[in-house]
Structure formats: C-alpha cells, structure tokens
Structure 1
Amino acid sequence: MKFASFTHQSRAAWGAITEAGVIDLSARHKARWPSLRAVIEAGALAQISDLAASASPDFASSDISYDIPILQPEKILCVGVNFPDRNAEYKDGAENPPYMSLFPRFARSFTGHGQPLIRPPESPQLDYEGEVTIVIGTDGRRIPEAQALSHIAALTLCNEGTIRDWVRHAKFNVTQGKNWDRSGSIGPWIVPYTDASQLADIALQTRVNGALRQSDRSSRMIFSFAQIIAYISTFTTLVPGDIIVCGTPTGAGARHDPPIWLKPGDVVEVSADGIGTLTNTIADEVL
C-alpha cells in the first residue's frame, strides 16, 4: 500500500494511492489522524492499510497535486558520501570514512512529486541526487544497531537537489547549498516498512530526460540503514516523522566533464525497487 499527502481542489489531504485512483482517507478519518505524520505517530500505518483495502477510490490520481509525504517533520537529516564510488569521486586517496557525513535540510527546501524543482537566479548549478529515504516511526535515543530497523515506519524517495557552487562557499559545511526553497523533492508517497528484506538490496536509479545517470544498490552503501539510525540517535532523539535521506550513488551532474546542470525543460526521475518513481521537472524561480 502507498500513502501520500496531496492537495485536491485547494484542500490539503492524505490518503492511499492505488491503481484505480486515490482513496481520500483524510476525508474519512481526519479528526482522528489529521496528517500522515499523525498516522505514523499513532503507529497506525497497518490500520489505515486495512481501512484503505475496504474503500473505493474517491478520485483519479491525475486530480491531485502531490506534496512531500510528511509535511512538517521535526528533522530532515541527510547522509553524504555513502557509496564507495562517491568516496572515490573526491580523488583524495582517502579510504572510506569511519564516520558518516551529515547535514540538515529544511522542509521548505523540498517539493512533491510532479512539481518543478526551482533553479534560483543566483546560480545555474542545480544538480540532482537520487536517494532512498526512511521515515522514522518510533522515537529513540542511543538506539542499538541490532534494533534500529524496528524504528522505521516507511520508505520513500528523495531527489536531493543541490546548488553546487553554494556548497563550497564555506570551509566546514554544505548547508547553504542544500537548502534553497523547492530545490529538491521527496515522494511520491511512503511505502510502509515491514521487514529487513525491503532494505537489503534496493536498486536505485536516476534518469535525466530518459538517460541513466545514477545506478547502484543499497547493499553497497558504506553505512547501512541500521548504522545510520544508530549513529544519528546517539546525539539526537529520533521522533516519529523524522526523515533520513541515506546517500546518493556516483553520477551526479557535477561529476561529468564538463558538468551537466539541470535546466528548465529537463525531467528527472528517481526510481527504486519496491518504492516507485519520483518525477520532477525544472523551472526558473519567478521573482
């Protein structure tokens, strides 16, 4: 079952996305669960799956505009350089790092499936990064690695759009290049997490205008999903609805010679086994 946050006729809603159409669960259960984040906080993903299974679609998927699945997460944390070939791209001779690189992103730096990523006038260097993303379902601090996966509620996808020259403005961080309004996307939906086999060997690909640019598998990540959760929860309490973006493979536009930046008219698709395809166009910011 797939669940999304969306807008329908100017009304914010959430529900199940099926082959036959959209089941508007918020219209039926909003008093109990006002948002998908509230569903996750209540541990009710299995319950709404059962409710959706016995309901009929309310409208076609073409009638909605997708939002990011979790609209107001407390935290969005991103893992950098989490595939071996990405580490080699830096050409510094360094072995795989002993600790993961992390940086925050703000919710307004993302948009939903089917929406344009926004290229700002300050830089033409808008780049793509396709990534598997996890949504936390139960809170925890100093979570043991052996128990980490039990804290996941769902999986989704991210195009972690980046303004490349702005990540190099400072010596010690990349935050300003990673947080331009609507420069990235999350979605299209969340897929409930059920067991470790969902995460073991996910094929992840990114295409630009149909051309394959990134391709790798989650089994090759330097830091596994369990390691990511255990490490992050060492220094901050993870809470339901928190989003962790788990790293992109080699092949981003910055690594081509010469670099290939995204421009209006481009279509970017991030796909992963068992999750789906996140699709976005590109548009220039209207001032």
Structure 2
Amino acid sequence: MKLPRLATYSVKGATRYGAVLEGGIVDLSPRHAKDYPTLREVIAAGKLAGLAEAAASLTPDHALGDVIWLPPVPAPEKIICIGVNYPDRNAEYKDGQDAPKYPSMFMRSPRSFVGHDTPLVRPRASAQLDYEGEIVLVIGKPGRHIAEDAALDHIAALTLCNEGSVRDWLRHAKFNVTQGKNFDSSGSLGPWLVPYTREAQIADIRLTTHVNGELRQDDRTSRLMFPFRYLISYISTFATLVPGDIIVTGTPTGAGARFDPPRYLKPGDVIEVAAEGIGSLRNGVVDEA
C-alpha cells in the first residue's frame, strides 16, 4: 500500500502537521500533539510510517488549497548539503581534475528555506539567484561512525530541495560558499515527507528540474558518485546524526549558471523539482522587499 505523505503546514495562522491524501490533509496535530508536538518528534519516535498508515482511511480536515506549506521538518539540528555528486556535474567545472575522492559539503540554515508554493526571494544584493534540484534524506535513527552496510537503516524519510544559490556570493571568499548558500528564503524544502521503507525506493530515482516548463536538469540516483549509504557513513564519522537531520544529496548538471549566457532566476519564474516516488516541489520567484 502506498502510504500517505506527511507534511508541516500553516492554516489560519496555526502551524500543524498532517497526512496528505488525494482529497486533502488529515490534521494529525490534535490527535497526537501530546506525544509528538511536531513531525520532528514523530521522526525521533520512529512513527512516521505508522501515523501515515493510520491516517490513510481518515477523512481530510483541510483542502490542499487552504494551507500554506512549510518545510516539513521544523527546526532541524543540521542541514548538510553535498556539493558535487553527479558525474556530469563534476565535468561542468572543466578543470581537468578526476572525480573527487571525498564529497564536498557545506551547511545551510533553516531560515534560508521556504516551503512548497512559497516564492523564493531574489535578494537585493544580487541578481544571480540560481536553482539546484536535489533529493533529500531525513535521518530517523541517531548514530555516529555508522557502517555503510547499516546506513540506510538510519533514514526516516525522503523529500525534495531546490537548493537555491546566489552565485556571485559563492565566490566572495577563497575556500567557502556559505554566504551564497544562506540568503533568507533563497531555497525550498518539501512539499512533504515520504516514509522510507525499502532500498528500492532510492536505488534509481529520476530527478528533474523544470523552469517555466523547460527541462533544465535530469539525472538518476543510480549515477551518484557518492551513494546515499556512503554519505551517511562519511558524515557520521565527524558528526553525530540525530533524528530530523537533513542531508541534501547533490544536484545534476544544468543549473542556470552553466548556460552561456547564464540564465538566472527572475521574478515571475516558476521552478519545479520532481522525483519519482517522492513528488513535485514548486516555487515562484519574487524580489526582496
């Protein structure tokens, strides 16, 4: 049985979480708030799939069009992003170097992300806002020094990311990209969490990004240079992974900066990141007020 997706959202000014069905959203907050105030506590308790299954037969409380979608995991301890993880993306750099031995990575703040159907914000400081469609792993079981053969047991759910980047600010310093990756509301996460149940879910997912209906990015997780097992094991070598941690696993070739001339995002554009078995994350673009 296909389990419902679980989402965090706002309705009439109140933040809630629920199960997304075809006919709307089942509000799980009043049913489970005592034990699980947010989806982060649901993840920590290992109850995502159980709550989703129990909600499958319930009647929706909200229409999909009546809610404001929020990033599905509230207040994650860590958002870890992988820099170059598809072979064609590595080739884009045209620096003559072989594939890297270890993954590039950086951290992002929760405030740099919005939810599904909320516009990304092109900042006053730059017109070089770019898109990067990515698949996200959400950690469910804590661990340190996790062996690769046990790594997938630590995944609670999958979701999507538009890892929006401000390109000129990525090059402000010699060795880091933090500035260009952390502008407020420059990226998005969501729309929901898909409970992880088996390896076949992630072995060969097709990931695409469309801008205004035009296909810009298209690749498959079977081609990752650093597979999901490896990423979880490698990261856990230096950091304890905890429930709700987010690993953004890398973007395919085709970001706007790689066109000649570059095709950066502008107000009115619509970006749609989609992945088989997960769903579609859609955002517009507005200028910073």
For residues 204 and 49 of structure 2, the distance between their equivalents in structure 1, rounded to whole angstroms, comes to 24
CA shift digits 1:34-78 (9 cap, x unpaired)? 000010011111221232023210120100000000010000000
CA shift digits 1:240-269 (9 cap, x unpaired)? 000000000000000000000100000000
Q: Which residue of 1 is the match for residue 145 of structure 2?
A: 142
- Show structure 1 runs of 5+ residues with no match: none
- Show structure 2 runs of 5+ residues with no match: none
For residues 47 and 278 of structure 1, the distance between their equivalents in structure 2, rounded to whole angstroms, comes to 24
Counterpart among 14, 17, 20 of residue 17 in structure 1: 20
Counterpart among 213, 216, 226 of residue 213 in structure 1: 216
Task: For 2:49, give the aligned amino acid.
Answer: A
State the shift of 1:27 in Å. 2.0
For residues 189 and 153 of structure 1, the distance between their equivalents in structure 2, rounded to whole angstroms, comes to 13
Q: Which residue of 2 is the match for residue 151 of structure 1?
A: 154
CA shift digits 1:172-192 (9 cap, x unpaired)? 110110000000000000000
Counterpart among 120, 131, 134 of residue 131 in structure 1: 134
- Indicate whether 1:166 and 2:157 are aligned: no
- Indicate whether 1:273 and 2:276 are aligned: yes
For residues 51-200 of structure 1, the aligned pairs below 5 Å read 51-200=54-203
Q: Which residue of 2 is the match for residue 225 of structure 1?
A: 228
Runs (4+) off by over 4 Å:
none
* Structure 1 SS opposite 2:202: helix
Counterpart among 39, 52, 56 of residue 36 in structure 1: 39
* Structure 1 SS opposite 2:150: helix
* Structure 2 SS opposite 1:187: strand
Aligned residues of 2:21 and 2:56 also touching (Cα < 8 A): no
For residues 244-255 of structure 1, the aligned pairs below 5 Å read 244-255=247-258
For residues 13 and 45 of structure 1, the distance between their equivalents in structure 2, rounded to whole angstroms, comes to 15
- Indicate whether 1:46 and 2:49 are aligned: yes
For residues 227 and 240 of structure 1, the distance between their equivalents in structure 2, rounded to whole angstroms, comes to 18
Aligned residues of 2:114 and 2:120 also touching (Cα < 8 A): yes
- Indicate whether 1:263 and 2:266 are aligned: yes
Q: TM-score, normalised by structure 2?
A: 0.98
For residues 33 and 121 of structure 2, the distance between their equivalents in structure 1, rounded to whole angstroms, comes to 31
CA shift digits 1:102-123 (9 cap, x unpaired)? 1000000000000000001110
Q: TM-score, normalised by structure 1?
A: 0.99
Counterpart among 176, 200, 205 of residue 202 in structure 1: 205
Let me know the Cα RMSD of the aligned residues: 0.6
Counterpart among 3, 7, 10 of residue 6 in structure 2: 3
Task: For 1:113, give the aligned amino acid.
Answer: H
For residues 79 and 145 of structure 1, the distance between their equivalents in structure 2, rounded to whole angstroms, comes to 17
